[in-house]
Structure 1
Amino acid sequence: MYTLNWGHLSLAEFLQHYWQKKPVLIKAGFKQFVDPLSADEVAGLALEEEIESRIVSNNNNNWQLHSGPFTDYANFGEQNWTLLVQAVDHWHQEAAKLLQPFRFIPNWRIDDLMVSFSTPGGGVGPHLDQYDVFIIQGEGKRHWRVGMPDPSLEQHCPHPRLLQVSPFTDCINVITEPGDILYIPPGCPHDGISIENSLNYSVGFRAPSQKDLINGFADHLLDQNLSGNRFSDQNRQPAESIGAITAADLQQVQQLVSDMANNKELLPHWFGEMISQAKHELDINQPDPHYTVEEIAEYITEGSVLTRVGGLRCCYYQADASSDILLFINGDKVSIPATELATVKLLTDQEILSVTDNLIFSQSDERLQLLTQMINLGYWYFTE
């Protein structure tokens, strides 16, 4: 297990002074850091069709981007390229443990773990991200420059699928070593160039845009066949110009849209389903045949341990202490009685259900049925 060493900071101080405000280097954030996987294993993941990977190379300012899977790296040479593999936490259990120290932010905000292998001179160029990221230095060293948000910066595309930013003034200029952690808020320009063969681990956070939210909400309304109220103008006065859209018209349209978005019954259902869906494929294997409730009860009695599949997104919403709980897992929604909050927290807050945890499920037929359903969906699996 990885333990985050804040050094001269505390978690409270970090959240108050740095989170979404300014970048910071957490020197030796992971003391005596040991890489959870090797460069060869990263290359092995990039062989798989279902895993998103890409290589960014730069030779004499000729930027290229290649999409995986990759079976051979000989053509890229020994320097000036980076292999990036997305959602490694979905496929590599040891690497997924790197996310745990950052779970002081709610589950729904954490996105995935991206791992990159870089040769000397490798990087993706100076760029901006619109989300928070912690970059952990693994083996090797990397030269990082990070700046503060600057509206005068211009973005450009040296390659059709590669967005970079114009030169910026840095506030951090460091060489990161194994275990160092660099936190970069949204909108901060940054550029990392590998000094030697190196591994980096990026813990990214979801930051849905207004467009994403509106599109997702509209899709939910369509899926649920919810049309809501219609435009009404029963107090309409004679139009001065029949071609005009008036401010009063727009105000009423805005109110219609706002009323739908402010629907406190609808909003949590939509948001929970949307935000719990995985952006990348999960390594799900449903048991065949499915387990019966009686079989799960027997496994629990025998002292079995359950592990949640890597990258599975679990969260819940409860309006108040007496309201039913909406449990969201990978876009699925289950309504749970208000009295079962402790049970829900086991499923959402813990990646491993111990022998003791599982005994709690066996104390109730409803809990046991819920656990059996989750196992048969492939969301949890027996590890002991």
Structure 2
Amino acid sequence: MFDRSVLADHQSDFLSRFWQKKPLLIRNAFPGGLDYVSGDELAGLASQEGIESRLVIEHGPKAWETRHGPFEEDVWGSLPTQKWSILVQAVDRLLPEVSLLRDRFRFLPNWRVDDIMISYAVDQGGVGPHTDNYDVFLIQGQGRRRWEIGDRALVNPELEPGLDMKILKHFEAAESFVLEPGDMLYLPPGFAHNGVAQGESVTYSVGFRAPHQKEMLQSFVQFCSQFDEGEIFYTDQTLPETREPGLILPGELQRLRELMLAGLQDEKLFMRWIGGFLTEPRSFHEARDKKVSEKTLRAGLKKGRAVQRAEGARLAFYTVGEKLHFAAEGECFVLDPSLTELVALLCREQSYRAEDLLAHSEKLGFAELLCHLWNQSYVRWSDEE
């Protein structure tokens, strides 16, 4: 295991030696730990509608029982003194201070960041030995947690049958260590790991998206089904004179396959779809009831009011030839290329000075874009409650 005090000072080394290759333990990455959320506050979030949460009890009515929120307040008093955990997803979309943690991982692509999950565990609490199909940074916020990890990425690991959780049937630890407040552990996809709280523990998990093939195919086909133009039908102008009527000939099978592949290889449709797919959030920010006008927006900027990105808002951009594609929270827009510097700024920072935005105010599509982001609640005034 390789220790580093500050990951940001060694980004090149991390990307070349560790990213998706092997684990990395980083001592004191966040000096003093993180105290944004206590166990009681996390339980409060897990009791709210619209927030994805789980309660994992190692020895409930059955082993590794998993319950999904929202939870009634009286559930917490009925739990044992040991071996249970609360997990709340996407806390970065709920709390501004947690959202700012994403800045520490800005050297990785925006579209790869999934969410920041926070877990609270009582003594000996955990979720059992398991693997993840994505990269994750585990930050010890408060308390202590012992981690055991395997020596290699597992492919198709065998799981214990009949459990709510995906618990490994066979787990052999190659290394074991205790994370103190502020320590961070990076794990690539597939590495088996098991975390057990040593007393009360709060852990922040910064997870990274790894879209899988079937998910992408399903989303792309659904996207394509919205459009009627350019439909291509199967043709077979030359048929054999004699054949078994029930037989599908090899040439027909090949033409059918090629027809499907041609749809998947439609570059224009792919580019219209991919940005929205990669920025689609776990949960959506509610659009504003009262819309802002271009005049009001410009007036606020001219008064020097700074703008803030919504907590956890997912933004990305890419270019195709001379076209600029900007994706925000599952939407994708084709913009004038003159706005490239603006959308790069929007994607790079979480807050924006008025003068930096006004520098682009005369460019084609500036006001329309900013108004749309505003009215969808993707951005707001920094001094707005």
TM-score normalised by structure 1 residue count: 0.91
| CA positional deviation for 1:356 | 2.5
Q: How many residues align?
A: 376
Name the CA distance, whole Å, in 2 between partners of 1:4 and 1:215. 42
Which secondary structure state, in structure 1, belongs to the residue aligned with residue 199 of structure 2? coil
Report if aligned partners of 1:142, 1:192 keep a CA contact under 8 Å in 2. Answer: yes
2:186 aligned with 1:183 = yes
Report the counterpart of residue 276 of structure 1 in structure 2.
279
Name the CA distance, whole Å, in 1 between partners of 2:374 and 2:169. 49
Report the counterpart of residue 310 of structure 1 in structure 2.
311
Which secondary structure state, in structure 2, belongs to the residue aligned with residue 116 of structure 1? strand
Paired AA for residue 159 in structure 2:
Q
| CA positional deviation for 1:186 | 1.5
Instruction: Give me the identity figure in percent.
Output: 32
Name the CA distance, whole Å, in 2 between partners of 1:79 and 1:203. 25
Report the counterpart of residue 90 of structure 2 in structure 1.
87
Report the counterpart of residue 10 of structure 1 in structure 2.
10
For residues 290-309 of structure 1, the aligned pairs below 5 Å read: 290-309=291-310
Structure 2 unmatched runs, 5+: none
Q: 1:208 aligns with which of 211, 222, 232?
A: 211
| CA positional deviation for 1:50 | 1.0
2:258 aligned with 1:255 = yes
| CA positional deviation for 1:262 | 1.6
1:362–1:340 Cα change, 3 Å: closer
1:151–1:108 Cα change, 3 Å: closer
| CA positional deviation for 1:152 | 7.1
TM-score normalised by structure 2 residue count: 0.90
Report the counterpart of residue 350 of structure 1 in structure 2.
349
Name the CA distance, whole Å, in 2 between partners of 1:239 and 1:25. 69
| CA positional deviation for 1:54 | 0.9
Report the counterpart of residue 31 of structure 2 in structure 1.
31
| CA positional deviation for 1:256 | 1.9
| CA positional deviation for 1:307 | 0.9
1:239–1:274 Cα change, 3 Å: farther
Name the CA distance, whole Å, in 1 between partners of 2:332 and 2:124. 47
Q: 2:154 aligns with which of 133, 146, 150?
A: 150
Name the CA distance, whole Å, in 1 between partners of 2:193 and 2:355. 46
Which secondary structure state, in structure 1, belongs to the residue aligned with residue 120 of structure 2? strand
Q: 1:165 aligns with which of 164, 168, 174?
A: 168
Report if aligned partners of 2:85, 2:126 keep a CA contact under 8 Å in 1. Answer: yes
1:152–1:221 Cα change, 3 Å: closer
Name the CA distance, whole Å, in 2 between partners of 1:248 and 1:156. 45
Structure 1 unmatched runs, 5+: none
| CA positional deviation for 1:47 | 1.9
Report the counterpart of residue 199 of structure 2 in structure 1.
196
Name the CA distance, whole Å, in 1 between partners of 2:160 and 2:200. 28
| CA positional deviation for 1:77 | 2.6
Name the CA distance, whole Å, in 2 between partners of 1:189 and 1:378. 39
Report if aligned partners of 1:4, 1:101 keep a CA contact under 8 Å in 2. Answer: no
Report if aligned partners of 2:66, 2:165 keep a CA contact under 8 Å in 1. Answer: yes
Once the two structures are superposed, residues 39-77 of structure 1 have per-residue CA deviations (whole angstroms, 9 ceiling, x without a partner) of 222122112101111100112873211111222311113
For residues 223-242 of structure 1, the aligned pairs below 5 Å read: 223-225=226-228, 228-237=231-240, 241-242=244-245
| CA positional deviation for 1:241 | 4.7
For residues 123-134 of structure 1, the aligned pairs below 5 Å read: 123-134=126-137
2:347 aligned with 1:383 = no
Report the counterpart of residue 331 of structure 1 in structure 2.
330
| CA positional deviation for 1:141 | 0.8
Q: Supply the RMSD in Å over aligned alpha carbons.
A: 2.3
Paired AA for residue 340 in structure 2:
L
Report the counterpart of residue 59 of structure 1 in structure 2.
59
Once the two structures are superposed, residues 281-318 of structure 1 have per-residue CA deviations (whole angstroms, 9 ceiling, x without a partner) of 43x351x4322211111111111011111122111221
Paired AA for residue 262 in structure 2:
D
Name the CA distance, whole Å, in 1 between partners of 2:5 and 2:108. 14
2:290 aligned with 1:289 = yes
Name the CA distance, whole Å, in 1 between partners of 2:284 and 2:338. 33
Name the CA distance, whole Å, in 2 between partners of 1:319 and 1:117. 44
Report if aligned partners of 2:26, 2:183 keep a CA contact under 8 Å in 1. Answer: yes
Paired AA for residue 380 in structure 2:
Y
Name the CA distance, whole Å, in 1 between partners of 2:228 and 2:130. 41
Name the CA distance, whole Å, in 1 between partners of 2:258 and 2:204. 45
Report if aligned partners of 1:361, 1:368 keep a CA contact under 8 Å in 2. Answer: no
Report if aligned partners of 2:88, 2:118 keep a CA contact under 8 Å in 1. Answer: yes
Once the two structures are superposed, residues 122-148 of structure 1 have per-residue CA deviations (whole angstroms, 9 ceiling, x without a partner) of 011111211111111110111111112
